[in-house]
Every structure is written in structure tokens, then in C-alpha cells.
Chains A and B, each alone.
Chain A
Amino acid sequence: MSADHLGQLRREGRIVIVGASLAGLRAAETLRAEGFAGELTLIGDEPYEPYDRPPLSKSVLLGKASPHRTDLPHRREIDAKWRLGVAATGLDLSAKRVRLADGDEVEYDRLLIATGVRARPWFKEDEARLDGVCLLRTRDDADDLYQRLKAGPRRVFIIGAGFAGSEVASACREMGIPVTVAERAGAPLVGALGGVIGAVATGLQTENGVDLRTHVTVTGLEGDATGRVRAVHLSDESVVEADVVVVSLGSMRNTEWLNGSGLGAGPRGIACDAGCRAFDFRGIVTDDVFVAGDVARSPHALFGYQFLSLEHWGNAVAQAQTAAHNMICDGADRRPHLWMPAFWSSMFGVNIKSVGVPPMGEQIMITQGSLAERRFVGVYGYKGRIIAAVSFDNTRWLEFYQRQIERGAPFPVEFPTVDRRPEGRPVDADFPDPSLPTHGPMITLSGYSPADQQLVFHPARH
């Protein structure tokens, strides 16, 4: 693009952001902060201004915050047109138009797609409609679930022991509510952190009074005559009575609206280059469509340039800022998105944090502290180098390990560390077979192809 053209775009161009959540908001702020003076439109399917989601499964369920009061602070005025409560339903790449559910169309010069993910619903639609069967993704979901928990259910049943499911279980126990958690794998959190850490999570749950059922799947939800859920049927033929069921089976990327658009979009997300530019289905990079946040798959230099999908708060912020910057820059001024994957969770009073990509880990060694005390740092190794680290109540050391990952430091870790215990030898990290989908690993390595292939999740049926 000529300098003239770019100048015109910055002065009077039209930028449309589809997705009015964390990534969309931070992108809009960055555009304005970097001098974009043209027309800015934010489109969001929820009728709310951008709000923060992590508190929904923590502060909100603990009664420390209102589900309708988690709006994100604005870092600056963004002077945007808001189209809230109306979903984008289609994209015409050649005409540069976004179609909306209300029939409207919005034209753009540059488009940012930040449509994120939604909760994967229970796969049997009639059962999913039973009163008491809940999801937890939106503030309305959180409001509904919180009201139900406050009403004092006899038992809450949680399907899926990923982070979200485990956080809900923790909140239930704190409220004194009996809770059963069913997990297809052998332990909670195994998809994200492997079996060694999963065993620690198992101890956390059972000691806090969670009725944890592993190696089982839910085969059906049973309702009563009034359409309320009353029991959960499991693959081991047991039946658990429960009046609230929380379906926590991970998420689905909001890409259906792009079907037929010609973008490289599918169930695993939208492929983009390191500069956040979307690929079309032929693997050719576009120059006016950008992607950020949970819906993006982008190649990462530290992880062999595989496309990574990250459902991480920090990634949404960082990628949105990079995408926004690149949308109003040329060539050499553009920046690559090189964010180090990082996430946090908190359950049963324990702070869990991770950097890097644990599911790539073949082995894990506990370099500080002890699994038994549930205060430790664990380091994951992949092909002789450090690929990730996890901490339980030991976050202040984590930035050291992040630097080790960045420099490709060798694994096993040979240097001594303070608080090294005899248990600190490398062992198999014990991740489940990667070909089996797990409940929301939050980091997905999805190969090298920019054109997404159909990869459909089929819950096991017995």
C-alpha cells in the first residue's frame, strides 16, 4: 500500500471489529491510541458492552461480584459505533462487507475478527433444554448458575473436569453444596497439565469433598415430569441425582458465520500469519482481514511454527494489540505476535499458573517444592528442551522458567534450585492420547495447514 493510501486509511478509513469482548475492545483502544481517526464499528452478538469473563467462574460464583458488573474498564475513549446484540452472519470478502443478523450490512476497509468461542453445549438437544442444565460462558449464564447455586440445590453435577468445571466445583464446595464431577479422563486438568499434575488436582478435589468420578462419561440426563433435570446417567451404569447440571465440555470457535466466505476458517479457528492477517482457504494471506483472540490460530516460532489456538486472556489482549497496530501500518512497521502462552486458574484456594505449552511436554520434573504439599513448580520437557512450566502457589518463580523456555534451555533441568526435593526427577508427563479430544485443553496445537480441515468433536457414546 502506498503511503498515501495508508494515510487516507488512518484519517478516514472504515474499520470494523466483529466481536465486542476483551480482544475487540483492546483492539479498538489500540487503533485510537495509534492515531486511527476514521470510522470504527464494533459488532457484538451479546447485548452488552465488553465485559470480563474470568470473574464469572470465580468472584461471581463466590458472591464477591455481580455477574452484570464485570464490564471491562476502558483504557481510553474509543469513539466507536456499537452494534450490540446483533450477530454477524456473513462476510463478503470481495465486496468488503459484513452481513448482520438484522439484515444490515457494514462495509469496511479493514476488518478484525475477534468472535471468540462459546461453550460447547450438551450434545443431546432435548436433554440440554431441561431446566437446571447450565453452561458457563456468558454473564447471563453466570447469573443463572449463581441464582441456582444460591437457592441451595441438593447436588450439583459437573460434566467435565477442565479448569472451568473445576472452578465451578470449587465454588460449590465453598458454598457447602454437594457436588459430583465426572471426567472422561483419569483426573481433572489432565488435558491441560497431564496426569502427574492431574493427580494433585484429584487430591484437591476429593479432600475438599468433591465426589469425583473419573474414566466415566455421561450417557444421559434425565428430567422429571415438569421438565426439570433430576438425574445423570453415567457410562458405568451409575445414576446420580442432581438438580443442577453444569456442562463444562470446553468450547467451540465462533466461525460458522464465515462458512463459504473463502476465509481459512473452521472448527479449529481462523488461521492467520504471525502478523495476525487471516489466510483464505487456499492458504493465501489476506491483507485487509485480521484475526485476534480465542478464535485465531497463529503460528508460533517457539513451538516449531505450528498453529496454536490459545483460549487465554493474555493472548487475547496481546494479539488484539498487535493486530490493531498492524491494521494501520505498512510492511516493516508491522510486528509479529510472539506472545508466550500463559494462563492462570484458581480453585480450592490454590493458585495455578502456567507458561509455555504444557501439552507438548513429554516429561515433567518438579524443580521446586513438592506435589504432596501442593506448592511447587513443575517443568515440562520436549525433545531435550524446556517447553512449559506450571506452578501451584509458587507464581513468583514462573518468570524465570519463562526465560528458560524462550532461550530453549535444555531439559532435564540440571542446575540445582532452592527447595529441590528428592522427588524432582523427570517422569512421564502423562498426557492423554492427543487424538482423543479432552475437555477444553485451552491450548490446541493444530498442525501446519492454514486451511482448516473439518475436525468434529464426537463425545463418546456407550
Chain B
Amino acid sequence: MRLVVDLNKCQGYAQCAFLAPDVFAMHGEESLIYNPHAPEEQRERLARAVAACPVQAITADGLEGLGERGTGSAQEAHDVR
């Protein structure tokens, strides 16, 4: 699965690194490094990380079938401001 993190949005809450430690890791207290190509066996953990990101900074595709409807890519945070 391909993924990208918008590191402008990222504030280092590390939820992804807790929930999918083979894909995401903290480098120091606040920097996130990640593997932009998560192997298939990480599918469930990646989905948890995508949902849990407090700033909704993770976009991944190929998560179909994990509580996803539609095209399966994480949607941009909708903001009605």
C-alpha cells in the first residue's frame, strides 16, 4: 500500500508509531519517519493509524475492505468553515 504523510500537518502525536510501529517510527521526540510503501501484512495496522491520526495527515491507498467505502483512499478532512 502506498502512503504519504503531510508533515506540515503532523504534530508528532505519534499515534501512528504506536499503532503501526513497523511502518511509522519517531526519530527523536517529534520527527516522524515512515515507510511510504507498507507491505500487505500491515494493512490492518495501517488502517488503524490512518483513522487515529489526530490531524488526519496520513493518506494511503489500497485500504479497501477495512471498514472503507468508496474508493478506499483516506479522504481529506472536510472543513465546513
Contact = CB atoms under 8 A, between A and B. Distances in A.
Q: Do chains A and B directly touch (beta carbons under 8 Å) in the complex?
A: yes
Contacts of B42: none
Contacts of B61: 73-75
Contacts of A76: 71, 73
A73 B2 contact: yes
Nearest to B70: A76
Contacts of B36: 52, 55, 59, 65, 69-71
**Chain A interface category by residue count:** 20 to 34
A343 B7 CA distance: 8
Interface residues of B, number: 29
Contact of A75 (B27, B30, B62, B73): B73
B60 interface: yes
A32 to B, nearest CB: 11
A71 B76 CA distance: 19
Contact of B12 (A54, A59, A65, A396): A396
A414 interface: no
A349 B29 CA distance: 8
B6 interface: yes
B25 A64 contact: yes
A74 B73 contact: yes
A194 B7 CA distance: 22
A200 to B, nearest CB: 14
Contacts of A396: 11-12
A361 B59 CA distance: 34
B4 interface: yes
Interface in B21-71: 25, 27-31, 33-37, 59-62, 71
Contacts of A351: 12, 28-31
A344 B59 contact: no
Contacts of A459: none
A73 B59 contact: yes
Interface of A is mostly: loop
Nearest to A348: B28
A306 interface: no
Contacts of A350: 28, 30-31
A119 B62 CA distance: 32
Interface of B is mostly: loop
B11 A71 contact: no
B20 to A, nearest CB: 13
Interface string A307-349: 0000001100100000000000000000000000011101011
B71 to A, nearest CB: 5
A77 interface: yes
Contacts of B75: 75
Nearest to A396: B11
Nearest to A174: B27
Given A69-B37, A73-B2, A314 B27 contact: no
A313 B8 contact: yes
B3 interface: yes
Nearest to A29: B73
A59 B34 contact: yes
B7 A54 contact: yes
Contact of B33 (A62, A342, A348, A394): A62
Contacts of A62: 27, 33
Contacts of A66: 37
Contact of B4 (A58, A73, A393): A73
Given A349-B31, A351-B30, A73 B11 contact: no
Nearest to A343: B8
Chain A CB within 10 Å — which of B1, B12, B28, B31 has the most?
B31
Interface of A: 52, 54-55, 58-59, 62, 64-66, 69-77, 313-314, 317, 342-344, 346, 348-351, 353, 393-396
28 contacts: A54-B7, A55-B33, A55-B34, A59-B36, A62-B27, A64-B25, A64-B33, A65-B35, A65-B36, A69-B36, A71-B2, A73-B1, A73-B2, A73-B4, A73-B62, A74-B2, A74-B61, A75-B71, A76-B71, A313-B7, A314-B8, A317-B6, A344-B10, A346-B28, A349-B28, A349-B29, A350-B30, A395-B30
Given A66-B37, A73-B60, A75-B59, 12 more contacts: A55-B34, A64-B34, A65-B37, A69-B37, A75-B73, A76-B71, A77-B71, A313-B8, A314-B8, A350-B31, A394-B30, A395-B12
